Amino acid sequence: MTLVMEAHQALGSAIPLARCREIQVAILNRDNRPGVINLAILLGHSTALSTQFYLGQRPIPSSQPDHFGFKATATPETLRFSIPSSAKLRDFNQITVLFLPGQANYDQGSKVAIQQFQLIPR
Question: What residues does each domain of the chain span?
Answer: 5-121
On whether the CB atoms of residues 98 and 40 are closer than 8 A, the answer is yes
Number of H helices, E strands in the chain: 0, 7
Query: Taken in order 56, 96, 113, 10, is the CA torsion positive or negative?
Result: positive
Sheet containing 20-29: which strands, arranged edge to edge? 75-82, 20-29, 112-121
Of 35, 104, 34, give the one whose Cα is nearest residue 70: 34
Q: What is the pLDDT of residue 2?
A: 63
At residue 107 the predicted structure's pLDDT band, cuts being 50, 70 and 90, is low
Phi, psi at residue 10, to the nearest 5°? -90, 140
Query: Taken in order 107, 30, 80, 25, is the CA torsion positive or negative?
Result: positive
Percent of the chain with pLDDT over 70: 85
Q: For 5-121, which CATH superfamily applies?
A: Galactose-binding domain-like (2.60.120.260)
Number of CB atoms found within 10 A of residue 102's CB: 17
Separation of alpha carbons 119 and 23, rounded Å: 5
Q: What is the pLDDT of residue 63?
A: 80
Q: What is the pLDDT of residue 112?
A: 86
The reported pTM is 0.84
